[in-house]
Amino acid sequence: MLMSLIVDCITSIISWTGVFTSIAFLSGCDGHSCPPMCTPGEACQDSYGIPLWLVVMIATFFLPQGVDYMWSRIVLLKTRGIMPPCRPRIAGKLPIFYRKEYNITAGGIERLHPFDSQKYGRVIHFLVSRGVLSEKDVVRPSLPSRAALVTIHGPGYLSSLKFSIQVARLLEVIPALFLPQPFLSWRALRAMQYQVGGSMEGAVAALERGWAINVGGGFHHASGRRGGGFCIYADISLAAEAAFQHWSHHMLEDAGEANLQQDNVKEFRVLIVDLDAHQGNGHERDVLKKRRLNRKILKSLTENRTASYDNGFRAGDTFESPWNGDQVRAAQGRSRAAVGPEDPSNISSHEFRDGVPTERKPLFLMDYYVFDMYNATIFPNDTVSKGAIDRDISLVPNDQAIVLCDTDERFEGAIADTSDSPVERLGRMDCDDGYLGLLSHYLPSTVEQYEPHLVIYNAGTDVLDGDPLGGLSLTPQGVLARDEIVFSSALDRLSKKDPIPILMVLSGGYQRANAEVISSSIENLGRKFEWFSHAASQ
């Protein structure tokens, strides 16, 4: 963390140097007009004919990105792509994550985007003013380390955020293009990083406490390689990875290696329930990538169970868990039959005696199930990422009603088919009743069938009536009922089995009234599950 702050300071100093150099040149420094690059009729005297000020400007434009990229590469090599442990400080507190730095302010420019970037503070204000909780009950998350961010976001993507034009594009606030990058980093990126920290710590806290709420986050349009739609960091993917690392470490510590060796593959199952009005294309692209990687790893294990002494393994060779890159390359160099996955964080250790593996520690994999219920007529319309959705409930709002399309046949008989379009197969429904009916029909059964270890709930409130972008027209009471259905599906299950840990993140919402609705929903959930009378004493 200290080195990350030092690198940020260095890149900020370089960037500000470029800003002041540009200002100094454009102002002429001495109050006169700017000097020409070359005197007419004479050869330029600067090296290679390039003025010194231009060299400084170019260097300060690209150097911060280069420094940041190299630092990310160093961190990636040092950590071997494994996320460091995430340890939230929740003793004596409620697993509700917030700090005032969540709120994004940039001199009023943030108002040029319809997203309410200061709703987080108002949610807490409503909860405190109603006596639901006090500020000391709330957990203040830490910034995620560069080692954590780089496990999902590559060095190239993170270093691209050193350009104002890239940040402005992702925020969809064009005037931000003209702001110095250090200012954007301070006022926008840092706020989002704190929210990412809240999602990561919240996921771990949910495993320990059974539930958690991050009063922020839900950047579901961001994936490891791209962002957009006011989403820069893929906090949902990062939260799942933090929970996975926490779970796998506890599996090794609590169960003991002897028991784990009976089953060579252990899966950590994450159910993402995305009820924002927009399709969650960011985390869905990360899910596609993870599934491809898991298939390659399992195929490698299936095809390469043994390795012979003749291929170069010595009796007693041990490959530490997880393999690092050098060990994988060394094993591949000695034997074509060695397992050599692309992602070393998923690999267990192997011990060879006389060239035959006699002991194999478990291989931990993370598996996803994506439940996405969204307005099919609005951004992002990402057909590629739809391939990751396991339960695709896409909706078409029409005259204050909702038309359901693109789902399976099991629900077709439940609603009369009154649509003329073959795509809109299931007819029209009143907004609250239809939406909640679909959710209560599909979600509880999904939870029971999939049996996840963690539910990550993306609770966007852009489904509210009057939202300029969502278009689904739910009432505030409908949003409260929606959230209760999701939490009941995990904590008060139909099968009466053990509750499933659940993390809620706020995601989208483009009206000032959203904050009060969110706080009312949290209060309602607290009453139903008796959080505020018992949770703080845990």
Using an 8 Å Cβ cutoff, are 370 and 272 in contact?
Answer: yes
Give the H/E segment covering residue 8.
Answer: helix 2-27
Task: Give alpha helix (H) positions in 186-314.
Answer: 190-209, 235-250, 257-260, 281-303
- Fill in the amino acid letter for 297: I
**Helix, strand, or coil (residue 99):** coil
| 534 catalytic per annotation | no
- Of 433, 437, 510, the closest CA to residue 474 belongs to 433
CA distance 474 to 462: 9
Long-range CB contact pairs, 85-89, < 8 A, 24+: 85/245, 85/246, 85/249, 86/148, 86/200, 86/201, 86/203, 86/204, 86/242, 86/245, 86/246, 87/201, 87/204, 88/139, 88/141, 88/201, 88/202, 88/204, 88/205, 89/139
CA distance 273 to 236: 11
The catalytic position among 221, 246, 278, 283 is 221
CA distance 266 to 244: 11
- Fill in the amino acid letter for 453: H
Task: Give alpha helix (H) positions in 210-265.
Answer: 235-250, 257-260
The pairing of beta strand 363-375 with beta strand 265-274: parallel
Query: Is the preceding peptide bond at 380 cis, omega within 30 degrees of 0?
Result: yes
- Of 519, 504, 508, the closest CA to residue 236 belongs to 504
Q: Which two tokens stand for residue 332?
A: 């591949």
Active-site amino acid positions:
221
